[in-house]
Amino acid sequence: MALVRRVAVTLLRHGLTAANQQKQYIGTLNPSLCEEGIHEMNLLKAAFVFPKADAVISSDRKRCLETARILYPDHPIITSGTFCELHFGEWEGKTYEELKYQRQYQKWIDDPSVYQPPKGESLYEFEKRLELGWKSELAAYFEKEQVSHIVLITHGGPIRYYLSKLAPNNQKWPWKTEHGKGYTFFWDLEELRRDKRCISLQAEPFMAKQNG
């Protein structure tokens, strides 16, 4: 009987930025973590156990790279623009309050599958980009490097998309994408090759460190 090879992917959201605090659409903009964000990531790292990684991949945005370096300081970081947030075009850097009376914005809020931000990325383009990245960069890495656990530091939008496509059908959690937190997906490698949903899922970080 052939041995079953188990693999896992952990998706973690980057830490807090000043633009997040101001509730801006950041998209492809490139702010660094704010002081509070750096402090929060260091507190999480000190208090909780994060998954051990064979490889760490990060969106190429500074907020993700800085988060990766805090949480996984001893790992080389593989960067990829494929796992960036949706490009919000002319709306990047703006808030709901600044946009809410624009007709195009109202249409997009009502049906983002039909409408898109001006000079930005459509939902279809965003999802296709993430699907390509998953298959050609992330899943393929298991085959190329014979690793078992990959950690991907990314953004709220990509995490929500991958949850919708890959979480077990019987799990209907109220998915949250908090800064510095995320989810680990587990597969048998053959199931991952066949684009199947994961066999189990857990929130991350999974447990608090024991004092003493």
Overall average pLDDT of the 127-132 stretch:
97
pLDDT, tens digit, for every residue of 74-114?
999 999 999 999 999 999 999 999 999 999 999 999 999 99
Question: Is 13:177 a contact under the CB 8 Å cutoff?
Answer: yes
* Cα dist from 129 to 58, 154, 159, 191, whole Å: 15, 14, 13, 21
**pLDDT-above-90 percentage for the chain:** 86
CATH of domain 6-87+128-208: 3.40.50.1240
Task: Please tell me the predicted confidence (pLDDT) of residue 209.
Answer: 82
Residue type for position 57: I
* Distance spanning both ends of the chain, measured CA to CA: 44
Per-residue confidence (pLDDT) for residue 1, from 0 to 100? 46
Domain map (residue ranges) of the chain:
6-87+128-208
Q: Is the pLDDT of residue 174 over 80?
A: no
Q: What is d(CA 94, CA 195) in angstroms, rounded to the nearest whole number? A: 36
What does the pLDDT look like over 28-82, one tens digit per residue?
999 999 999 999 999 999 999 999 999 999 999 999 999 999 999 999 999 999 9
State the chain's mean pLDDT as an integer: 94
Q: What pLDDT was estimated at residue 212?
A: 44
In which band, very low, low, confident or very high, does the pLDDT at 17 lie, cut at 50, 70 and 90? very high
Q: Where are the beta strands (DSSP E) in 14-110?
A: 48-49, 55-59, 77-80
Mean pLDDT of 159-164: 95
**Confidence bin at 207 (pLDDT 50/70/90):** confident
Neighbouring residues of 51: CB distance < 8 A, sequence distance ≥ 6: 8, 10, 149, 151, 184, 204, 205, 206
The per-residue pLDDT for range 179-196, each reduced to its tens digit, is: 999 999 999 999 998 989
- For the chain, helix, strand, coil in percent to 5 are 40, 20, 40
Higher model confidence: residue 8 or residue 146?
A: 8
